[in-house]
Structure 1
Amino acid sequence: MRSPVDLGIAVRGNIGSICSPRLELQLKSTSTDVLDENAIRYPIKLKNYDDLRITNFAIPRILVVILIPENLADWLQQSEQELCMKYCGYWVSLRGMPQTQNSTTVTITIPKTNQFTVVALQSIMQGIGQGVKP
């Protein structure tokens, strides 16, 4: 059985009451127009939805959807001075979401305010360090 985890992130040492907090991510990317004024509406497979909504994982899991240009050659620019990726990633926790009657996919709504930035990741990790799961 394939795990929905694509990437694990850990912090060394204590952040609050938890020593070496960890976070697991499922990563998705799309060039499809899923962005509206306030949110990203992204369809995921029902199995992934069910895996990500489980509440009793020891390590919290989130979904990160990365919007990319339609032409993949425009996605990444690299030089010795920088690495630039277009466009933006957005995150959401599906922990505790309700079961669905859908049979193949579930469309997830991610607020545009949930950009997956360095500051957002630091905040998530600090929360986990305090025992708060995203």
Structure 2
Amino acid sequence: MDPNKQKEEFSRGYVQSLAAAAGFSVSEPSVDDDSIDLTFHRTGGKGTIRSPRFDAQLKCSAQALPTTDFGFSLKLKNYDDLRVPSGQLAVHRILVVVLVPDDPADWARYATAHLPLKHGAYWLNLAGMPTSTNKTAQSVTIPFGQSFTVDSLLAIMDVVGNGGTP
């Protein structure tokens, strides 16, 4: 398999496993023409919005696990699609970057009691970011403190379910 396709598939599985653990369903648009790979859904909900949802663009990068905020280069089309101000969207959008080791054999290693998936995922809401003067890509800074985990996924959905912006 092409290494980029391999990363794409792994990131999708990684994020879907977190959604399942959080109790959310995930859907996938039949065509990714709006920089949306997955939509996360909560049935019912605990907030003011019934059945909240949000969209995510997934990316995967082979690099060491960061210890501080880190840069990520995003295609300009994805950047522009994700930076639309939240007030102009029916559904909020975030970027999720899954980081993996260089060697695909190290991404998931079976152990008797668990299946660790390496390294981790981080998220960023680009809504309202400025127009880029670049022609092909825009670098964004992913906050180290915004790990994409079961707990953060639950927190994002709670914010969205109460009418807020993630």
Q: 1:74 aligned to 106, 118, 124, which one?
A: 106
Q: Which residue of 2 aligns with 1:45?
A: 75
Structure 1 segment 1-134 matched on structure 2, within 5 A: 2-32=33-63, 35=66, 37-55=67-85, 56-78=88-110, 81-134=113-166
Q: Which has the higher contact order (CA 8 A, sep 6+)?
A: 1
1:112-132 superposed Cα distances (whole Å, 9 cap, x missing partner): 000001111111100001100
Q: Give the alignment's TM-score, normalised by structure 2.
A: 0.74
**CA deviation after TM superposition for structure 1 residue 3, in Å:** 2.4
CA distance in 1 between partners of 2:35 and 2:57 (Å): 6
Higher fraction of strand: 1
Higher fraction of helix: 2
Cα pair 1:54 1:95 within 8 Å, conserved: yes
Alignment size in residue pairs = 133
Cα pair 1:41 1:107 within 8 Å, conserved: yes
CA distance in 1 between partners of 2:80 and 2:110 (Å): 37
Matched to 2:120, the amino acid is C
CA distance in 2 between partners of 1:49 and 1:34 (Å): 23
Cα pair 1:34 1:42 within 8 Å, conserved: no
1:3-47 superposed Cα distances (whole Å, 9 cap, x missing partner): 211111110113211000001111101114584x42121000000
CA distance in 2 between partners of 1:121 and 1:15 (Å): 14
Matched to 1:14, the amino acid is G
Cα pair 1:69 1:75 within 8 Å, conserved: yes
- Aligned-residue sequence identity (percent) comes to 40
CA distance in 1 between partners of 2:35 and 2:122 (Å): 17
CA distance in 1 between partners of 2:65 and 2:154 (Å): 26
Q: Give the alignment's TM-score, normalised by structure 1.
A: 0.91
CA distance in 2 between partners of 1:78 and 1:108 (Å): 33
RMSD (CA atoms): 1.7
